[in-house]
Chain A
């Protein structure tokens, strides 16, 4: 008998070698208690959270929590059904109405996760014989959606407008074309030149899908994302987003002005063949989305935090993913996986949690310590964080 697990032997060995050096397993951390959007107890000690994508700090918002508790009492713990059967409750419609208003779009469709939103929409609209042209650094959910749909998949170099245009022009006459882009790329925290790229896509007859998971709530005058910031949201055919970042719960969505969009509810398998989100989740999401429409001050503070941390780390001598802060993600580039894991652990000992990202999730096989800021981080906390990085960086020998 061939052991079907033998294909994982390389990874098992790499993991064993890493853990044998004595470092704490970076992929097995438990949050024992969560005190606020920015603090938790890990390994018995109070820890500042700097790797949660909880950009707007909505997870402990009193109105959001109240909405969830009320929904639990009034609608129960779960829907036990698909959106197209018994799983659409008042809360799901509230959520979709809030999204339509938030983005100023005609249609909104809520999925059970952001992963399923990309998987479902991409695989359903781009099928056999169609072409998907996408950035090589796209999220796993985008790649999986491409694979599931059987379209011809044509990647181009990250953020390279010329490479994208060349590929679009080579697609056979008459074939359906979908360009897939992200507003913020979450590994390095850099943004896409959406305005130029979307123009090229449209000039070449392609429909455009933009994943704004890491920009919702704080990029753009109304927090609609990078496309809004660059003044090209009306040219985006499909915006994909998530509730698990700025909104502060779990779930995914697609908003669109396409006149036939509602048919998606019947043909999109990751929407149909799974249970809908629990009532408490959709009520917390709807409340949070409405509050994010009026969060100008929080947005401003988040940007201050991002700029302060970027400058602080750069001044201490760390190598960062972007020259200037472009989002609420500041990515610190590590020399290799071993020292990355050592640095991650040294920071945890200091009382700071960040994300350790490593190949194959990262571009160019980099090991990264990804920091995501929150609007609820105080200016003092950001200074504390910079101090922790400096001490840990010196202890590990990175700076």
Chain B
């Protein structure tokens, strides 16, 4: 799946997690802008992993701060 198609899928997955209805761009940060706590992060990561059938290890998660970085990482992880 290319970056555009991946981004489209991720947008669908993130929808129910974006409870405050914040307008999301590639620069949006999970901890800062979306104010997600660790539990929300865990549930969201699990949802992304299941959607794309990939693993995003804690080590990789540490490198992902923004929405754009997530799309890049998921695009890459699909191989």
Which residues of A are in contact with B by a Cβ distance under 8 Å? 131, 136, 146, 152-157, 163, 166-167, 170-171, 360, 364-365
Contact B54 A155 (CB under 8 A): no
Bound-complex Cα distance A166 to B58 (A): 16
A153 touches B57 (CB 8 A): yes
Contact B42 A157 (CB under 8 A): yes
B58–A167 CB distance below 8 A: no
Say which residue of B38, B42, B46, B59 sits within 8 Å of A360 (CB atoms).
B38
CB distance from B7 to the nearest CB of A (A): 21
- Ordered by A's residue number, 26 sampled pairs between the chains whose C-beta atoms are within 8 Å are A131-B55, A136-B42, A146-B58, A152-B58, A152-B59, A152-B60, A153-B57, A153-B59, A154-B55, A154-B58, A155-B42, A155-B58, A156-B46, A157-B42, A157-B46, A163-B46, A166-B49, A166-B50, A167-B49, A167-B55, A170-B49, A170-B55, A171-B55, A360-B38, A364-B39, A365-B37
Instruction: Decide: A152 near B54, CB < 8 A? Known: A136-B42, A163-B46, A167-B49.
Output: no
Name the residue on B nearest A150 (C-beta).
B59
Give the chain B neighbours of A170 by CB distance below 8 A: 49, 53-55
**Cα of A353 to Cα of B54 in the assembled complex, Å:** 46
Give Cα A163–Cα B46 distance, bound, in whole angstroms.
Answer: 8
Interface size classification for chain B = 10 to 19
Interface members, chain B 27-79 (any A CB < 8 Å)? 37-39, 42, 46, 49-50, 53-55, 57-60
Majority SS at the chain A contact face: mixed
Residue of A nearest to B50 (CB): A166
10 nearest CB pairs, A to B:
A152-B57, A153-B58, A170-B55, A154-B57, A153-B57, A154-B55, A152-B59, A136-B42, A153-B59, A167-B55
List residues of chain B with CB under 8 Å of any chain A CB.
37-39, 42, 46, 49-50, 53-55, 57-60
CB-based nearest B residue for A146: B58
Complex contacts, A166 vs chain B, CB 8 Å:
49-50
Chain A residues within 8 Å of B54, by CB: 170
| Most-contacted residue by chain A among B37, B49, B58 (CB, 10 A) | B58
Chain A: minimal CB distance from B62 (Å): 10
Which residue of A has the minimal Cβ distance to B53?
A170
Complex Cα spacing A136 to B39, Å: 10
Q: State the Cβ distance, A49 to closest chain B Cβ, in Å.
A: 32
**A residues less than 8 Å from B50 (CB atoms):** 166
Q: Which of B38, B39, B46, B50 has the most CB of A within 10 A?
A: B46
A365 and B53 form a contact (CB under 8 A): no
Residues of B within 8 A of A155 (CB): 42, 58
Q: Which residues of A contact B38 (CB under 8 A)?
A: 360
Nearest CB to that of B57 among chain A residues? A152
